[in-house]
Structure 1
Amino acid sequence: MDASALLSALLMGVVEGLTEFLPISSTGHLILLGELIGFEGPPGKVFEISIQLGAILAVIVVFRQTLIDLVLKAWRPGPERFYAVNILLAFLPAAVIGATLHGPITRALFNPYVVCTALIVGGVAIIAIERWRPAPSIRSVPEIGPLAAVLVGFGQALAMIPGTSRSGATIIAALLVGAERRVAAEFSFILAIPTMLAATVFSLFKARHDLDLSGVAQIGVGFAAAFVVALVVVRWLMRVISRIGFTPFGWYRIALGSVMLLVLALR
């Protein structure tokens, strides 16, 4: 395998790690980057699945103590059970809608023009909600109740539109129901674990006849890059988000979507 193929895999992994948990759309960035560099990964869905698993593993590492507490303590009444139930409630809308509409959405909407439009619209929404959102009333993740969790879950379902951003949609929904920025980010990251694992299993099942483990070097490079970069990004965001807010990501989305629309028009 030549060096350019490994470099392309590295770039795709880095972009996955950078964008998966920021409200700027990892799918959108990967589609646009793939178009720009002409990326060709191994046959089947193995490469895409591997870099997503790398990003998921990073979140599991960062929130490992929270996850251990949920596993050990959710079996009896208490805050951990309340937390786990609300994660489940937030997970269900995307799971049901995704299982039903995954195929039509993939066929109809996975193209650069939809991505660019969704980036711009989502950027405007982030800026507007940061400016006019309600005063925070939810100051820890266990305070997110069942109704708020379900609303966040329906926000997550919107992220099936490429370019919308799963983390962006869930964070915006959490802000609208009164969560502090850090709480919104943490709930989004924890919710990502069952959601992304379910999406990965679903993708593996759908593509089971086409899976091919050729290109192991590309897969390994992409997985490692996604894991390391996502680990840094998640830890950084949890430290600074209360201070910087989400508005800079909104402006970034608008700028990127606008520039890419211009590039696509000139090609």
Structure 2
Amino acid sequence: MTTLQAIILAIIEGLTEFLPISSTAHMGFFGSLLGMEESEFLKMFQVSIQLGAILAIVVLYWKRFFDFSNFNFYLKLVFAVIPALVLGYLFDDKIEAVLGNQIAISTVLVLGGVVLLFVDKWFQNPTIQDEKEITIKKAVIIGFWQCLAMMPGTSRSAASIIGGMTQGLSRKAAAEFSFFLAVPTMLAVTVYSVFVKTWGKGTLTEMKGYEMILQDQNHINLFLIGNVVAFVVALLAVKTFINVLTKYGFKFWGWYRIIIGTALLIYFYTK
């Protein structure tokens, strides 16, 4: 992986991680388009640069994350993230196997787009406008909805936002809680991928993520550059998305997914 390729993937991660359009699908497509060879380091890199993206959320909403008097906020995030931690650990190998199937991911991208076309009509009368009104029970239900994103191409953001809207949250409140929930979820995934998971299992080159990063100076540079770029881009993308979502709803993103997903299906079928 070159520095330019790492920067492009990090830009895509920062732009798409918090949008309901699947960062996995976009990084897979651009990785293929850029002629990047499938490797354990590439897989680990795509996961680990989520760290930069979640730091952007912490910075943008620092008053929420560092308001230690609001213990209930942390409690809701802890309970909401448990389903993803348990199911993600149990199905890690199956999830990784699907990551290489671009046809399946592109198909899910299209199907998810169709769903987004109707979301605004399904949930027209929200009753919750702020995170403080969300109960622990509702937070846990949203956490289970987030687990749908274990199928690559679904979009963690889309699954958790729709889950929030099923619980009476407004579009803005659902999007913001999705962002908040992303922090412990993606932090856990990143820590697991870098420090716990053994990559290349069963081969002569099996290593932990941090061992791959520290393998040479180039890998260290790519890891650092990727996270910095993802952080900066996510800072810009999140606020823009909130404004567009609040004003226009999901239909734009639905059509975007359908068009891009169809284009990806054509591309990978004819490749």
1:212 aligns with 2:212: yes
Structure 1 residue 122: Cα displacement:
0.9
Report the more deviating stretch, 190-199 or 169-178. Answer: 169-178
1:165 aligns with 2:162: no
Distance 2:19 2:146 in 1: 14
Structure 1 residues 65-117: Cα deviation after superposition (integer angstroms, max 9, x where no partner): 11000xx21xxxxxx23332222221111111111111122224541011101
Residues 155/22 of structure 1: CA separation in 2 closer, same or farther (3 Å cut): same
TM-score, reference length from structure 2 = 0.88
The partner residue of 1:113 within 99, 103, 111 is 103
* Structure 2 equivalent of residue 149 of structure 1: 139
* Structure 1 equivalent of residue 76 of structure 2: 86
Structure 1 residues 139-164: Cα deviation after superposition (integer angstroms, max 9, x where no partner): 11111112321221111111111000
Distance 1:68 1:52 in 2: 21
Residue 104 of structure 2 aligns with an amino acid whose one-letter code is V
Residues 172-187 of structure 1 correspond to what in structure 2 (within 5 A)? 172-187=162-177
Residues 201/236 of structure 1: CA separation in 2 closer, same or farther (3 Å cut): same
Distance 1:58 1:41 in 2: 28
For the 8 Å contact 1:31–1:111, the answer to whether it is kept is no
Distance 1:12 1:255 in 2: 21
Distance 2:241 2:131 in 1: 16
* Structure 2 equivalent of residue 76 of structure 1: none
Residue 245 of structure 2 aligns with an amino acid whose one-letter code is I
For the 8 Å contact 1:41–1:218, the answer to whether it is kept is no
* 3-state SS, counterpart of residue 18 of structure 2: coil
Structural RMSD (CA): 1.9
The partner residue of 2:190 within 189, 200, 211 is 200
Structure 1 residue 57: Cα displacement:
1.1
* Structure 2 equivalent of residue 20 of structure 1: 17
For the 8 Å contact 1:134–1:178, the answer to whether it is kept is no
Give the unaligned 5+ runs of structure 2. Answer: 200-206
The ranges of structure 1 where at least 4 consecutive aligned residues each deviate by more than 6 angstroms after the TM superposition are none
* 3-state SS, counterpart of residue 179 of structure 2: helix
* 3-state SS, counterpart of residue 212 of structure 1: helix
Structure 1 residue 61: Cα displacement:
0.7
The count of corresponding residues between Structure 1 and Structure 2 is 256
Distance 2:142 2:244 in 1: 22
* Structure 2 equivalent of residue 241 of structure 1: 245
Give the unaligned 5+ runs of structure 1. Answer: 74-79
Residue 52 of structure 1 aligns with an amino acid whose one-letter code is Q
Distance 1:200 1:151 in 2: 23
Distance 2:230 2:98 in 1: 27
TM-score, reference length from structure 1 = 0.89
Distance 1:239 1:98 in 2: 31
* Structure 1 equivalent of residue 117 of structure 2: 127
Residues 109/225 of structure 1: CA separation in 2 closer, same or farther (3 Å cut): closer
Residue 256 of structure 1 aligns with an amino acid whose one-letter code is I
Structure 1 residue 121: Cα displacement:
1.1
